Structure 1
Amino acid sequence: MEAIQGVLTEVLMRITLALIALIAAFVLSYIKKASDKLKVEIEVLENEDLEKLISRAFDRLAEVTKLTVNKIEQQSARTIREAVNEGKLSKDELEKLSKEAYEEILRVLEPEYKEFLQDMLGDIETYILNLIEEKLVSIKERDQVFEIQRFS
């Protein structure tokens, strides 16, 4: 009887250990799945934060460029118009104004946006100078519409 009791105890102990091992495997599997899911959710949040940062940086750059170009245009408009009418406006003078706008944009733009845009674009100077040109074209078109309306 003692032998049977010893064998039964041994069998129950092995079954208990097997159940504990099985439960531990399920718990570890659940923890791994939860960890993987958490990693994916963190990655999604980081991507959303990155998208927001990209959007804010480019929006801010566009806003600063527009304000700077408008400011310089307001300050220099009369001189520029007179020089154009007299045929005395050189390309160097226009490039000087663009460079002036570029330098002011860099002074006004927040450092974190400058660094981020530099990392994203590589050549931030060319991008900003192209934005300045785009804004100048829109101002020129606006002025032409105003002139047409004024003489109509």
Structure 2
Amino acid sequence: MNYWLMKSEPNAFSIDDLQNMPNQTEHWDGVRNYQARNMMRDQMKIGDQVFFYHSNCEVPGIVGIMEVVREGYPDHTAFDPQGKYFDPKSDPQNPRWIMVDIKYIRHTRRVISLAELKECEFLEGMQLVRKGNRLSIMPIKSEEWNYILGLEDKKSH
């Protein structure tokens, strides 16, 4: 099993939105970065566990856990000329963009903030806490996953 972190702005799509979807499942669309696309296309597998991360908000951080329930397939939002994720160079015969389906597992017991994660010496090599990292999807090592889960019951600083 692989572990991931996927970012979303809560005003666009939040952990609560996912929880309220039919079957608590939704496709993760709109990714327009080749590196993130390649991870969804080539590496994400059914059963992989994912941290849901709220970005670009008052307290960015990990807010929940979800699971990959459908592996990469064409992102149909790239084909809609009226949509905000339209890409005229992508077509159904040769899709450029990929999405996966994710299912809500649970909220974390508290927000595990980016500031707190940056203070953890154990996590200093984690992609999320490195300067200049802008990827919306990133792999998480199993040791990092377990360490972060251990932070849930600790009081934040």
Structure with the higher helix share, 1 or 2? 1
Structure with the higher strand share, 1 or 2? 2
TM-score range, shorter chain: under 0.3
TM-score (norm 2): 0.22
Name the larger-Rg structure. 1
